[in-house]
Structures are given as structure tokens and as C-alpha cells.
Homo-oligomer: A and B are copies of this chain.
């Protein structure tokens, strides 16, 4: 197999003294911040054990995107995925997490069962099924059928290697409900603009603290819209989704792996949040697109859709 590796040269985040469990040798650091072309099964087999802090991915769904990917049949799906999840188990640190975004399709009026069978089989493999988050898609695909409504949710299955894993809950706290919103609405437009600019320049901290006091822990239901109208890339996976889990489950400088990187959404999220990424994809056009998108991200700074 042709192994085409794109090594992007990004400045490493500031050194911190609280890591490092495995010392980052030359062999292991070659993976950092790169989009790798190849079958993730092969790539993962060569990767060091206990190396990655978080795996977050949205694999091709059964019978979808068959032109780009192979088009895995529903009845082959579990058998196709289990060897991959086995390799993920190997490269993940003991305190790491695996977040799997997936949804079963409906065929002939019935939901197929390969996703829930996969959960059971991954438990046999050694995974802990820690939690199931719901991604509520505010703008779901339209359509009308006699026997069902539009499908507006997907699973974000959270697996870990053990009971004790890293979780930084404060990083994803959200503003409180109506009360704080009405309070913020009453700020004048100029105030908001000024305060925003202050935050960027490191000033205006008092305002963000004031806002921070009205924050509350989220639940296991995420309300995010898909990104549909973007011209360069149309990711089924909005940046905000991996961003949320990256903030929740890693700290700055950690390593995040996406074995089905697609258009590079997870890598873009990592760059915004000062985490290292490792992206893998079997499709050369996607590797190209993801590489370009991350480079553009580094040049232009923060993207709007984050």
C-alpha cells in the first residue's frame, strides 16, 4: 500500500511540566499534527501503545458514502469495525477516552441493529461503555414518510479503558438558561464589541468572569447544528462536536486521534484548542482536503464556524 504522509510543520504548544507518561521519542512524535493516508488498521498497528489521549471520530456509516469509502454493508459492519476498535484500545492511554459518533440507518421501515450489537461486542473486547451522549441535530435532513419522522439525533458513544479517566468538566460549562441570556441581551452593542476585543487582547477579564459566574454544567444532550452551506468542505460533523469532547476530555498539548479524519474537522478543532492531532484517512482526496484545511486554519487563525 502506498503510504503517503503529510507532515505539517506547526509550532508546538508551550512545554508544560505536568506530562509526560510516555516520552515522546522520534518514532512517536513523527505522528503528531499530520494527516496520514492509509487504512487506519495498518497505521494503528505501527503506532506506539498507550500513546493517545482521545480518539474522536465519525466513521462512514453503513451503506453511506459508498463512492468515497468502500460502502460497508450493514451486516458486515460489526465485523469490519471490531479490529479497528481493538487497535484503538491499544494506542489509547489508560486514562484516555474513545468517542464514537454514529447512527444506525433505517431500512424497510426498521432500524438496523448493528450499532447496538457493536456496543455489546466492544464491551467483550475490553471497553467500558461509559456513557451515551445524544447529539441533537437542530437542522436535520428534510423529508416525509408515512411511517417515520425526520431523524434529528445521533449517538456519541463514550468508551473508556477503565473507571478512572481524564475529564475536565469545567471546560464545557454553558451559560445558564433564560436568566443570564436576558441579562446579556441588555448589554449595549458597543459594550459587547468592546468587551470582545478586550478578551482577545487579554484585557476585559472581569467581564468574562462576570459571565462565568452564570455558568452551569451541561447535560449529556448536545444541541448543535450541522454545517451545510460551506463551500469548500461540507462536513457532516460540525467542528463544534469534536471541539466539545476535546475540551471535556483533554488538556492543552494532549494528543487526539481521528482514524476517519475526512475533511479534517477534528484536526481543525485541535488547532483551535492547542491540542496535537493525528488524522488518518484511506481516501487521498480527503487527506489532501484535510491538509489544506488545517494549513488554511493556521494561516487565517480562528475560523468562524467553531
Q: Could you tell me which A residues sit within 8 Å of B by CB distance? A: 1-7, 74-79, 82-83, 106, 108-114, 116-117, 119-121, 123, 128-132, 134, 136, 140, 144, 146-153, 163-165, 167, 169, 217-221
Given contacts A79-B4, A152-B219, contact A163 B113 (CB under 8 A): no
Name the residue of chain B whose CB is nearest to the CB of A110. Answer: B128
Copies per assembly:
2
The 4 tightest CB contacts between A and B, nearest first, are A152-B219, A6-B78, A116-B116, A7-B75
Report the minimum CB–CB distance from A32 to chain B (whole Å): 28
Chain B residues, CB < 8 A from A77: 6
In contact, A109 and B163 (Cβ under 8 angstroms): yes
Residues of B within 8 Å of A128, CB to CB, are 109-110
Cβ–Cβ contact B129 & A113, under 8 A = yes
Residue of B nearest to A117 (CB): B6
Contact status of A148 and B119, CB under 8 A, knowing A4-B79, A79-B3: no
A-B contact pairs, 6 of them (CB 8 A): A6-B75, A6-B77, A6-B78, A6-B79, A6-B114, A149-B169
